[in-house]
Amino acid sequence: MTIGRKLSEYDKSIERAEELATEYSFAAKPLLFYRQILIAQKQLYSTLIKTLGKEPTSGKGGELRGQLDLAVLLPNYLNFLSVVQENAPEPLARAAEELSRQGSNEWTRLLGEYWALGGMPDENGVSRSSEGLGALREFLARGFLQGYAELAAETFPEPAMDATPYICPKCDSLPVLGVLRPEGDGGKRFLRCAFCSHEWGFRRILCPACGEEREDKLPVYVAEQFPHIRVECCDTCKHYLRTIDLTKNGNAVPEADDLAAIPLTLWAQEYGYKRIHTNLLGA
């Protein structure tokens, strides 16, 4: 197990966010904000590696979402909140400022709630944290804990997969994205977890929200502007998954490219499709 592998991935994402901000000027603002978040996340991630080493507290006891290591996390939270405060659009910046004033009891409560429920579906398949916390507060917890969750997932043993799981086999969260990775002459589809970023293999012709497998119920929309991004819809449950096709563009970085694709969010809304789980910026 190579711990620290992710640090170079942060650099790749930061670079890609800069590239995309130039290429898609309409998405420059959110992409440059995301870049600031990535820089803060990378810094936190390297602190976590040093402090937690190869064994983050979570992961012990057979559960990825074990005890949150607040002694390590809380001293870093104020810095994250001030990065958001300085770079985010108005309502989010204000929420960060308010939370930074509220102090550590409130931080503990928010982070604990997200850690327990983040990305997990309720009985209707809706993320319990998105619904319970609201978009702004969810961001303030999710953006901060993402690296911690990824580190926990990296050190968490690969679960045995006997079926095609619709939620993350490591942490039970909904998928945020699909990723098509080159394999043979085509691409193999993976689902990427909204909470811990773990990827697991998933059949290409199968709705990850309701299990529909009839091809004529699963239309795929690709815009000229984003030839490497597929909007994979389901006409049975009206959900969609956005899939980054790395066979079409090997330079794409799924999370960053997804944030550039604002017109695809608008398109899906117009046609009445709902995303299975929103991305970090709530789109």
Q: How far is the CB of 6 from Zn ion (least distance, A)?
A: 15
Q: How far is the CB of 103 from Zn ion (least distance, A)?
A: 30
Helix (H, G, I), strand (E, B) or coil at 27: helix
Task: Name the site residues for Zn ion (rule: CB under 5 A).
Answer: 168, 170-171, 173, 193, 195-196, 198, 207, 209-210, 212, 234, 236-237
- Identify the helix (H) or strand (E) that includes residue 232: strand 229-233
* Separation between Cα atoms, residue 232 and residue 215, nearest integer Å: 11
Q: How far is the CB of 259 from Zn ion (least distance, A)?
A: 20
* Separation between Cα atoms, residue 81 and residue 96, nearest integer Å: 5
Task: Give the residue from 173, 70, 60, 64 showing the smallest Cα distance to 112.
Answer: 70
Cβ proximity to Zn ion, 97 vs 212, nearer residue? 212
Contacts of residue 80, defined as CB under 8 A and 6 or more positions apart, other chains included, come to 40, 44, 143, 144
Cβ proximity to Zn ion, 134 vs 211, nearer residue? 211
Cβ proximity to Zn ion, 172 vs 257, nearer residue? 172
Cβ proximity to Zn ion, 164 vs 236, nearer residue? 236
* Separation between Cα atoms, residue 139 and residue 189, nearest integer Å: 27
Task: Give the residue from 150, 141, 171, 152 showing the smallest Cα distance to 57.
Answer: 152
Q: How far is the CB of 87 from Zn ion (least distance, A)?
A: 27
Q: How far is the CB of 94 from Zn ion (least distance, A)?
A: 30
Cβ proximity to Zn ion, 232 vs 245, nearer residue? 232
Q: Taking each helix axis from N to C terminus, what angle separates 90-102 and 70-87, rounded to the nearest 10 degrees?
A: 140
Q: Which residues pair with 17 in a beta bridge?
A: none
How do 220-221 and 229-233 pair as beta strands? antiparallel
Cβ proximity to Zn ion, 78 vs 210, nearer residue? 210
Q: How far is the CB of 176 from Zn ion (least distance, A)?
A: 10
